[in-house]
Chain A
Amino acid sequence: MEYLNIVFQEVYKILFLLVPVLVSVAMIVWLDRRVWAFVQKRQGPNVVGPFGLLQSLADALKYIFKEIIIPSSSNKVIFILAPIVTMTLALIAWAVIPFSATQVLADINVGILYLFAVSSLGVYGIIMGGWASNSKYPFLGAIRSAAQMVSYEVSIGVIIINVLLCVGSLNLNDIVIAQQNLWFVIPLFPMFVIFFISALAETNRPPFDLPEAEAELVAGYQTEYSGMMYAMFWLGEYANILLMCAMGAILFLGGWLSPIEIYPFTLVPGAIWLILKILLLFFLFALVKAIVPRYRYDQLMRLGWKVFLPLSLIWVVLTASYLFYFNLLPTN
């Protein structure tokens, strides 16, 4: 009986995390489309509900009632598994995100490694979908995304090392608390910029949306998907974007800390600050989508391997020597 109680408590906690995440994914799609529209002097979705807020829910409803078509020549098991993998991986990563010093589902020692591992597994949903479709465009999209995501993961990993050098712990809450005096965005500003651009590439956002470049590949790996399976890809993608924003907020913008540690600001719960920071980063994501043209494939590879990787490696050496020289290395 006690066992069951613990299980129920955990399930309750997980639901309390997942439902807001899913709802905010739907809202974020709306926000993305609205920002995109305003940059181009359009209105965007503004009909369903107040300010068009319910547009994503209406879209989701449409997807649910559409027929799921499975191509006869596809590899059926993997074809069905692919969107499930994408969605699951995008959601399980939220387990370690701290919303305040105590509000975290799993406060594990290697939180940042877990986040990095889960985000690097995200490529499998795309490869599986592209390969199982057994069709040219999805396959090309899958191959592009495999190369792209692996390349940009490398620089994200090196950037994380930069932050870890300043913190001395892999725990996400420790990373947040280490920024109490100074957010890492100030001393590590170039790394923040590189992290932001790599995050765009990692989540296949424009200007790096080559896996689904509509002008060349129809819809890339999603070409053969329809109905709810397509919607799951779409939800997983946006959940991943939100996750990357959360990661950026925790690594560089002080996570759940309030910007100024004085009286009226400290009253606001940490979760609100984290959400505001995630929204700020997402706003930048949406702006980039609206104002930047798509990269060519060789330019994308060049940027990842020849610009970002050397730069972030040099910055690791710089950070380490600075911390060592001024005796600032964290000890515990």
Chain B
Amino acid sequence: MIAHAIFFYTFSIIAVVSAIMVTASKNTVHSVFFLILDFISISCLFIMIGAEFLGMIMLIVYVGAVAVLFLFVVMMLNVAQQKNQWFASKDSSKHIPVGLIISTLIFFEIIIVIGGWKYKPEIFDINNSIVQTSISNTHSLGQILYTDYIHVFQISGMILLVAMVGAIVLTFRQRSGVKRQSYIKQISRERAEGVEVLEVQSNKGVKIDD
């Protein structure tokens, strides 16, 4: 049990410290790296409580895909410079109330959730669906997700799809005059279209473009 405690505290300390460093570090790319460290330590905590499927999915989805794209954008945009300019300008104090309102909202949400969990545990209804302990948690997750919660699952999938289509529609712009390679056109080209045999007269030459 001691080894378990040591690992738990190590991972949770890393998670908390790196979460603080995400907001505290000056360099934006560094904060993304701290975010990644945070994700990794949280997935280690998931694995420690026996939720290995969730832990691995966390690694694959958040660290392997989301954070890479995040890092990609942060590197490309050179946010660090813009942030410094923003902090130097006088407008920055205008945004402080907005930040304060959002953070108080989140704070009270957390208070409500933790308070409810502590004093009225029955509203969370965790034991509603029967969890079998004899099968691996991948199986039990699938059994619950695809039976009791199938509609919620499908709806969340649809929402994600709509969000993706929406993002593509918003950023899509038709550009004219762009040369594109069409494989079908290239392959289906006949000899007759490409080659023409001409009688070339002496001292006159041939006009190719007409």
Name the segment of B55-63, B99-107, B168-176, B185-193 touching the other chain: B55-63
Interface: B75 (CB within 8 A): yes
Binary contact track A111-127/B, C-beta < 8 Å → 1, others 0: 00110110011011001
Interface: A78 (CB within 8 A): yes
Tell whether A121 pairs with B63 under 8 Å between CB atoms, given A109-B52, A110-B56: yes
Tell whether A146 pairs with B138 under 8 Å between CB atoms, given A110-B53, A117-B59: no
On chain A, the residues within 8 Å of B181 by CB distance are: 298-299
In the bound complex, do residue A146 and residue B53 qualify as a contact, i.e. CB atoms below 8 Å apart? no
In the bound complex, do residue A109 and residue B71 qualify as a contact, i.e. CB atoms below 8 Å apart? no
Interface: B14 (CB within 8 A): no
Interface: B68 (CB within 8 A): yes
A264 to chain B, nearest CB (A): 37
Interface: B76 (CB within 8 A): yes
B185 to chain A, nearest CB (A): 15
On chain A, the residues within 8 Å of B53 by CB distance are: 109-110, 113, 170
A83 to chain B, nearest CB (A): 16
Of B60, B71, B136, the residue contacting A120 (CB under 8 A) is: B60
Interface residues of A in 117-174 (CB under 8 A from B): 117, 120-121, 123-124, 127-128, 131, 139, 142-143, 146-147, 149-150, 153, 157, 170
5 further interface pairs, Cβ-Cβ under 8 Å (given A108-B52, A127-B68, A146-B68):
A131-B29, A147-B72, A149-B68, A150-B65, A298-B181
CB<8 Å pairs between A and B, sample of 18: A78-B33, A108-B52, A109-B138, A113-B56, A113-B57, A117-B64, A120-B64, A124-B36, A127-B75, A131-B29, A131-B75, A146-B68, A146-B72, A149-B68, A153-B64, A170-B136, A170-B138, A299-B181
B interface list, Cβ under 8 A from A: 3, 29, 33, 36, 52-53, 56-57, 59-60, 63-65, 68-69, 71-72, 75-76, 136-138, 181
A interface list, Cβ under 8 A from B: 3, 78, 108-110, 113-114, 116-117, 120-121, 123-124, 127-128, 131, 139, 142-143, 146-147, 149-150, 153, 157, 170, 298-299
Q: Nearest 10 A-B pairs (CB), nearest first?
A: A120-B64, A113-B56, A117-B59, A109-B136, A117-B60, A110-B52, A110-B56, A146-B72, A117-B56, A150-B68
